[in-house]
Amino acid sequence: MSEKTEYRGSIHQSQKDLMLNWYEQLDRAATTGDPPTVSMMISGNCVELLEGFGAVPLYPEVNALQLAIRHQSLDPILAAEDLGYAADNCAYVKADIGCMLKGITPTGGKLPTPTLILCNFVGCNTYLKWFEHTAKLTGAPLYVIDVPFMRTDEPRKEDVEYVVRQLKETVEKLEQLTRRKFDYDRFRQAVDCSRRSEDLWSQIKHLARSTPSPFDAYFDAITLMGPLYVYRAKPEGVEFFETALAELQAKRDAGHGVYEREHYRLVMEGPPPYPYFRTFRDMFAKWQACAVASTYSTVGGLWEFGFRHDPDHPFESVALHMIEQNVTNRNYLQRYEQIRRYVEEWNADGVIIHFVKSCRLFSAGQGDMRDYFTKQLGIPTLYIESDLEDPRYFAEAQTKNRIDAFFEALEHSKATALRGSA
Amino acid sequence: MPLVAGIDCGTSFTKAVVLLQENGTPRVIGKGRARSGVNVDEAANQALQQALNDAVINRSSLEYVSCTGFGRYGVSFRDIQVTEITTAARGAHFANPASTTILDIGGQCTRAIGITETGKVKHFKSNDKCAAGSGMFIQRAAKYLEVPLEQVGDLSLRASHPQPISSVCAVLAESEIINHVSAGVTVEDILRGIHESLADRAGSLLKRVEMKGDLTLIGGVAKQAGIVKAIEDRLKVRVHVPKDCDFVCALGAALLGLKRLASKSTVAAEAS
Amino acid sequence: MIMNTVLDSKMERTFDKCRELLEDLQFTAVREWKRAQPGRKAVAYFPVYAPVELIHAAGMLPVGLSGAGDRLDLQYADARFGSFICSIVKTTLEMGMTEHLQPFDGFLFSSICDSARNLCFVMKRNFPQMYIDFIHLPHNPSSPATPPFLAAEYRRILTCLEQLSGHKVSDDDLRNSISLYNRNRALIRELYALRATEPQLVRAWESYLLVRAGNLLPVEEHTKMLEDALQELRTRALKKRDSIRVVVEGSFCEQPPLVLIRMVEEAGCYIVGDDFTLGQTWFETDVPATGDPILELADSYVNRSVYSSVRHDFRKPRWTALVEKVKATRADAVLFLIAKFCEPAYFDYVPYKQELERAGIPHLQLEFEEKLFTFDRVRTEVETFVESLVFD
Amino acid sequence: MRIASGVDVGSTQTKAVMMSDNGGINILARALVDTGANVQRAAERAFDKCCAEAGIQTGDVGFVVGTGYGRYKIAFGNAQMTEISCHAKGAGFLCPSTRTVIDMGGQDSKAISVGANGEVLDFVMNDKCAAGTGRFLANAAEVMGISLDEIGPLSLRGKYPVKLATVCTVFVESDILSYLAQGKKGEDILNGVHLAIAKRTVSLARRINLEPEITMTGGVARNCGMVHALEEVLARKLQISPDAHFMGAVGAALFALEKLDQSFEFGTWKGQHATSGGH
Ligand SMILES: Nc1ncnc2c1ncn2[C@@H]1O[C@H](COP(=O)(O)OP(=O)(O)O)[C@@H](O)[C@H]1O
Ligand SMILES: Nc1ncnc2c1ncn2[C@@H]1O[C@H](COP(=O)(O)OP(=O)(O)O)[C@@H](O)[C@H]1O
Ligand code: SF4
Ligand code: SF4
Ligand code: SF4
């Protein structure tokens, strides 16, 4: 494929540097026990709190994701299945546990046993199992922050109080475990950094509203997501997103898009198939189809609709962020609404729903979502199935067939519309 | 000197053995085999009669008949029925006491069984209802390639460049075979490719039963030397094929029959 | 298999009635209850840990729905929920799409798993005329903030239920409901205890029918049924069979077909403990019917509910609880009867298995779907398992 | 007169259709050959046969669209399209009111939900397991010792369909043999076979929105027993075009005609498709 599908600017280098630096810190923690590390889920993460201890987050998902992208996920998955996990268990968990069993890390560096396993349960019941099992395997202490699900339109007062209370218990727990005093000022500063990073990130996402979009809000956004989870509460993060915004803004102003001609604008729902990331991207590149928005890029936070952390109410805003501002803890109908807004405000031609077998949180019921978009709203929608981690569930020929058939139809109806208006 | 029979009512063949216990050592003195067909009872009768003829004894001197295999409930003259997994374990253990992992490849079903040192079933896993990975697949491929079933094993052994079969479905695999033929791949290489894909499927079953040490391979397909080699190569394990590999379940059934008989007579002795 | 031929005909009638209730996808009993008491409403709940007391206290009929078994062909739900999702989620939606849920005015779901949760909101979109709500059952039992949080959650639900029924609920109403359900659950515990001590007196599928009927009957009626049944069962003259004793684990949500339960027993097992809809007891001991009833209910869920794969308590792991249950029921083995695609049960199989192996307890894992109708394979597997334990 | 062709290289049979647009669109000729092992040869044979049938030279054909699983092996094709788009397109043209297409071919079956302009809205297919495909029926015919054309009519005469324990194409043979041995009538066995496949196909098709006006395409549409069984399971009449077997090729030819039409030059047509031929 000769099509240039990826924008490579200086942000890609600084992103790499930042992430490498993170891995080095983890490596150091593994050998020297310092800095303290807290393993946590990306969705609803509270890195700001960790800043109050100078602690570093450890995201098992990032490892699982790296493995899959490097085509190394099958071995650990099989190792976990040998232990008794079912073919139908979430492969993210299996890959992570398999790594633990076999002592593999995707970067080759060492991973520390976390000071605390903090199960920030947001929406995904599998997290609970995952962390429970990891705690059983490693013997590391476990604390669960139970985050009430978004079952009402607005978070309830009791929900926020409940989470704040648990955050404070986490602080106590970490004070015991790290034998460090919680630095409240540093926590507040971190919250303020997050606010600024988020503001920049939100502006970046809004750039995709231009035609053509200067970046792909699914495939490219994933590159930017690492710093968002690890560094948003640090000055380095703010700086990173400033550069990113400037660079992409310049591209937008010059009228440069992802493709020479942007033919289709899409909204993507569901995580990507990491083991076939490139192949999958090319299937869309072939049609010069650019993702202008995606739900997956909001698993760690949903800032494009206005939410920001608030240094004046640090605990409350962290709690609110966990409860309300990530796609995993929002109910299905809220997700429908989010996608609908993307289609309208980001001016998209269609929706791609990627059903991943591992993840019931994302996928259970996506058929209804398709029904809603095609029937209720009349938006062209494609539904494809594979997996985000397990390479065995990617049927390349079939997926390609579906994608081609979808664009063939889209092209056809665009052409018909054009002919009709001519 | 107790005399018992074991009958294995398989999906393709019904196999019977007659077992005689002398000085505490059981010994097979007769074997019989019949096509399973529709009428389980009839096939069982036939196979048993053959075994009795082979052993040159009368039906009336049999003290106990135990049945196994998918048609075990269909044999009207049985004293007991036991599943083919249990009997495979018992029979294989008797044939090769050192091995604790058994692979049974029959006409419609492949099974992996992990057993204890005493021959009790510990874990088992089977795949059925899909022909990919079963003896029937080989039977059909042999027919296509116009090779007699008996020669499949030796031909496959002689392969130099095995051609892998990528399809997971036996039917779609047949199209692949046709493509191989038209691309000029030799029959030997194709057959070995089939055996290798069977071996790989068996490998994933074996993992589930925590394979340890040598493997005992039983069932009709074990008669094919090529599959033995394929399993040894692909799964890196030593394979032991008992003599009369397709009678192993029947043997296991007969052995369990002996046991029941013994416990019955002790009960009778205590009662009197 | 030797079946007792002289079955008490009265018992037989009760079992028949229970089976009819459970197989009736028209929910005739619910419809009749509503017809007999005009203006009163029925609220359905997804299998386990629903605060039935709240529904009852609000003057409505709580009905536990456990899928549609093999009695409904999927026409719509497959397209909505696709592959890799358990059957109960699909059959529940299918019942809605085919107007089987008409007798219900509301439907409560809770945070047991991701599939069930998403189902709640898909139902909400498709059936806007129904009151559908989601209860966040907490997953952090160790925080002192947890019971008050759940109490607040229950109060939120109660307010909605009051609106639905048009009946203001007093603390006494609640205490009364709690007492009624306490009595009911105590009887079920008694039934389970009887099975553990005298398994020949009551077969697992019989006990299952009696308990499942409680999902569909008014609690008062069901309590009466249990009282009568317990009396009858004790007087049965049945001989002990030569069976192994097993605990069944993994069927807490989607339910195995009745025939499968019978088949397991006929293959040579006494099921002396099981988690079929968690035995409908949900709590290890009575909920105190004193003090602030809502807080007591909340506290009972947090601190006294029976373990299962969809409830997380890091103070006492489920695997320890399973081993204890095996010891308490003097079971020889554990049979994992897991609904296909039930992720919580799949996950727990691993630590369960590890702990059982450590304790030297044999186990067998089986998968089922509620629409299963051929049992040859399962039968062979259970028989083999039994044989491996009885033949030496 | 503009002439274009569609060639559908299926796993079992290769179909070619020649169409002309002369104010109105007409089918000039059809050709059918067995695909066999050499896919490229099969495509050429079908195309040549079709030209001969239409009485034209290959040079007269303005545009050729290839489809079917072997589409990228067609050396002379100008563009390729998925068989899904083609079946939908063909059905939309020949049976304009259709909203659902059930295509049963030799080794796979699919169901397509079609929009008002013959565009694909959604589709499902089974292509990993041959259970319940044309191949299954061909096997059944072989075991019964009758020809493919006969199984349909024979199955229609069955009154007491047998129940099959398996829909695995391989094991069905032994099932059939054992029913024959039990003295069951051939028509009842075949009736059972058709019903079993119909149920399986419908349960697949239910994954999309099965809307009324269902058209059946693919080679199996020529089997009246299968059509009847599907109608029974769906409790609905099916539309069967006489060209059902050629539907994919018809759709491809229609696309080819559109590509010939200069006023239709749009978007990515040329650049994309012409270069993607090398895949
Ligand atoms: N003489 C033989 N040589 C090679 N393979 C054989 C022979 N006999 C049987 N087989 C293979 O064994 C399979 C039948 O195995 P068997 O264990 O008898 O099955 P079952 O117990 O299910 O009837 C056949 O499908 C065939 O592939
Ligand atoms: N005359 C016929 N009568 C009945 N069935 C037929 C007839 N011709 C073809 N078929 C069926 O159609 C199938 C081939 O369908 P087709 O759509 O050409 O498949 P593909 O596109 O995969 O090659 C055959 O397997 C056979 O079952
Ligand atoms: S189920 Fe989904 S959200 Fe949960 S751990 Fe797996 S991939 Fe992540
Ligand atoms: S059966 Fe399991 S996966 Fe399905 S709804 Fe119940 S708990 Fe969830
Ligand atoms: S995959 Fe092939 S062999 Fe397996 S059941 Fe399906 S048709 Fe039979």
pLDDT in tens, A281-335: 999 999 999 999 999 999 999 999 999 999 999 999 999 999 999 999 999 999 9
Closest to C124 (Cβ–Cβ): which among A90, A135, A333?
A333
Give tens-digit pLDDT for D68-100: 988 888 888 888 899 999 999 999 999 999 999
Q: Go through the domains of chain D in sequence order and give each one's CATH number.
A: 2-86+246-265 (3.30.420.40), 97-240 (3.30.420.40)
- Residue B26 above 90 pLDDT? yes
Q: With a 6 A CB cut-off, is B126 part of the ligand 1 pocket? A: no
More confident residue, B212 or C298: C298
**Signed CA dihedral, D260, D262, D266, D268: sign only:** positive
Residue A69 CB partners (closer than 8 Å, separation 6+): A274, A275, A277
Instruction: Return the axis-axis angle of helices A91-102 and A60-69, rounded to nearest 10°.
Output: 90
Residues in chain A: 422
**Among the atoms of ligand 3, which is closest to the Cα of residue C114?**
1
Q: Which of D113, D143, D160, D152 is nearest to D231 (CA)?
A: D152
Instruction: Please tell me the predicted confidence (pLDDT) of residue A8.
Output: 64
| pLDDT tens digit sequence for C24-45 | 999 999 999 999 999 999 999 9
Chain B partners of C386 at a C-beta cutoff of 8 Å? none
User: Among A30, A154, A149, which Cα is nearest to A100's?
Assistant: A30
* Best of D148, D201, D240 for a ligand 2 pocket test (most atoms within 8 Å of beta carbon): D148
Residues of chain C in Cβ contact (below 8 Å) with chain D: 74-76, 78-79, 82, 374
Please name which of C111, C155, C297, C314 lies closest in space to residue A158, comparing C-alpha atoms.
Answer: C155
CA distances to A319, B235, D253 from A155, in Å: 10, 56, 57
pLDDT in tens, A252-266: 999 999 998 999 999
Contact A383, C99 (CB under 8 A): no
Collapsing DSSP states into helix, strand and coil, what is residue C205? Answer: helix
Q: What is the mean pLDDT of residues B191-197?
A: 94
Contact call for C75 and D206, based on CB within 8 A: yes
pLDDT tens digits, residue range D171-226?
888 888 888 888 899 999 999 999 999 988 988 888 787 888 999 999 999 999 99
Decide if A74 contacts A102 (C-beta within 8 A). no
pLDDT in tens, C318-376: 999 999 999 999 999 999 999 999 999 999 999 999 999 999 999 999 999 887 777 88
Return the ligand 1 atom nearest residue B109 CA: 22
**How far away, in angstroms, is D133 Cα from ligand 2 center?**
9
pLDDT tens for D136-178 read 899 899 889 999 999 999 999 999 999 887 778 888 888 888 8
Label residue D264 by pLDDT band (50, 70, 90): very low
Residue B128: is its pLDDT beyond 80? no
**Within 13 Å, how many C-alpha atoms sit on residue B4's CB side?**
27
- Residue C179: its pLDDT value, please? 97
Of B70, B83, B129, Cβ closest to residue C384? B83
What is the pLDDT averaged over residues B142-171?
90
Identify the burial level of B272 via C-beta atoms within 10 angstroms of its C-beta, where 0-12 means exposed, 13-18 middle and 19 or more buried: exposed
Give the residue carrying structure tokens 């229970």. Answer: C18
| Ligand 4 center from residue A172 Cα (angstroms) | 35
- Alpha helices by DSSP H, C48-86: 52-57, 77-81
Q: Which two tokens stand for residue A244?
A: 């990113």
Pairing of strands B121-127, B239-240: unpaired
Using the predicted structure, report yes or no on whether residue C74 has a pLDDT greater than 90: no
Tell me how crowded residue C184 is: count the other CB atoms within 10 A of its CB: 22
User: Quick check: B74 pLDDT over 50?
Assistant: yes
Q: Identify which of A301, A348, A327 has the alpha carbon closest to the alpha carbon of residue A199.
A: A301
Give the pLDDT of residue B267.
Answer: 56
Residue, of D74 and D19, whose pLDDT is higher? D19
Arithmetic mean of pLDDT, A103-117: 85
pLDDT bucket at C177, cuts 50 / 70 / 90:
very high
Q: What whole-number distance in Å separates Cα of residue A13 and Cα of residue A25?
A: 19
Give the Cα separation of C264 and C257 in Å (integer): 11
Percentage of residues in chain C having pLDDT higher than 70: 98
A396 touches chain B (CB under 8 A): no
Domain ranges of chain C: 2-172
The helix/strand/coil state of A2 is coil
Q: Given this model, what pLDDT does residue B82 score?
A: 94
Could you say which DSSP state residue D130 is in? -
* Fold: same for B3-86+247-271 and B99-241: yes
How many Cβ atoms are within 10 Å of A157's Cβ, its own excluded?
A: 9
What confidence category does residue B272 fall into, taking pLDDT thresholds of 50, 70 and 90?
very low
- Provide mean pLDDT across the span D105-129: 85
Q: Find where tokens 């976990």 sit.
A: A80
Amino acid at B70: F
Whole-number Å distance between alpha carbons of A25 and A65? 19
Q: What is the pLDDT of residue D70?
A: 86
pLDDT at A418: 63
Residue A143 backbone zone (phi > 0: left; psi -120 to 50: alpha; other: beta): beta
A71: left (phi over 0), alpha (psi -120 to 50) or beta: left
φ, ψ of residue C144 in degrees (nearest 5): -65, -15
Strand order across the beta sheet in which C61-64 lies: C61-64, C42-45, C106-110, C131-135
User: What value does the mean pLDDT take over residues D222-236?
Assistant: 95
**Which chains contact A through at least 3 pairs of Cβ atoms less than 8 Å apart?**
B, C, D
| pLDDT surpasses 70 at C192 | yes
What pLDDT, on a 0 to 100 scale, did the predictor assign at position B24?
A: 85
Q: Is D142 in the pocket of ligand 2 (CB under 6 A)?
A: no
C-alpha span between D255 and D243 (Å, rounded): 17
Q: Where are the domains of chain B?
A: 3-86+247-271, 99-241
Question: In chain A, what percentage of residues exceed pLDDT 70?
Answer: 96
pLDDT class for C10, splitting at 50, 70, 90? Answer: confident
What fold characterizes domain B99-241? Nucleotidyltransferase; domain 5 (3.30.420)
Cβ of B167: how many Cβ atoms within 10 Å? 17
Most confident option among A101-115, B11-25, B153-167, C212-226: C212-226
Instruction: Give the three-state DSSP class for A54.
Output: coil
Distance from CA of C123 to the nearest CA of A (A): 10
Q: What is the mean pLDDT of residues A114-131?
A: 94
Which of A13-27, A407-421, B123-137, D239-253 is modeled with the greatest confidence? D239-253
- The SS3 assignment for D191 reads helix
Give the angle D243-D246-D248 at the CA atoms, nearest 5°. 125
Q: What is the pLDDT of residue D186?
A: 92
pLDDT of C67 over the 80 cut: yes
Query: φ, ψ for residue B119 (rounded to 5)?
Result: 90, 10
Task: Return the CATH number of C2-172, one of 3.40.50.11890, 2.60.40.790, 3.40.50.300, 2.170.260.10.
Answer: 3.40.50.11890
Nearest one of A6, A1, A7 to A251, comparing CA atoms: A7
Ligand 5 proximity of D169 Cβ (cutoff 6 Å): yes
Task: For residue C149, report the distance from its CA to the centre of ligand 4, in Å.
Answer: 25
Using the predicted structure, report yes or no on whether residue A276 has a pLDDT greater than 70.
yes
Give per-residue burial for C349-375: e unless 16+ CB within 10 Å, then b: bbbbbebbeeeebbbbbbbbbbbbeeb
Residue indicated by tokens 């709580």: C62
pLDDT band at B207 (very low <50, low <70, confident <90, very high): confident
**Contact list, A158 vs chain C (CB under 8 Å):** 149, 152-153
State pLDDT tens for residues A78-108: 999 989 999 999 999 999 999 988 877 777 7
Kindly report which listed range (B38-42, B145-149, D87-91) carries the lowest average pLDDT score. B38-42
Residue A76 token pair: 């650990």
Q: Is the preceding omega at residue A212 within 30 degrees of 0, hence cis?
A: yes
Give the integer Cα–Cα distance in Å for C245 and C320: 19
Classify domain B3-86+247-271 by CATH number: 3.30.420.40
Helix or strand holding residue C215 (H, E): none
The pair of structure tokens assigned to B50 is 């053959």
- Taking the alpha carbons at both ends of chain B, their separation in whole angstroms is 21
User: In a 10 Å sphere around its CB, with 0-12 CB exposed, 13-18 middle and 19+ buried, how is residue C24 labelled?
Assistant: middle
Residue D252's SS3 state is: helix
Residue D279's pLDDT band (cuts 50, 70, 90): very low
Question: What tens digit of pLDDT does each residue of A159-200 get?
Answer: 999 999 999 999 999 999 999 999 999 999 999 999 999 999
Percent of chain D with pLDDT over 90: 57
**Residue of D11, D13, D155 to test ligand 2 pocket, by largest number of atoms within 8 Å of CB:** D13
Q: What is the dihedral of CA C1, C4, C9, C15, to 10 degrees?
A: -40
Residues A52 and A190: their CA atoms lie apart, in Å, by 8
The pLDDT of residue B271 is above 60: no
What does pLDDT average to over chain C? 93
pLDDT of B127 reads 81
Half-sphere exposure of C274 (CA within 13 A, CB side): 33
| Locus of tokens 């565009």 | D119
Q: Residue range B139-155: average pLDDT?
A: 92
Residue C200 structure tokens = 């020949």
What pLDDT is attached to residue D275? 29
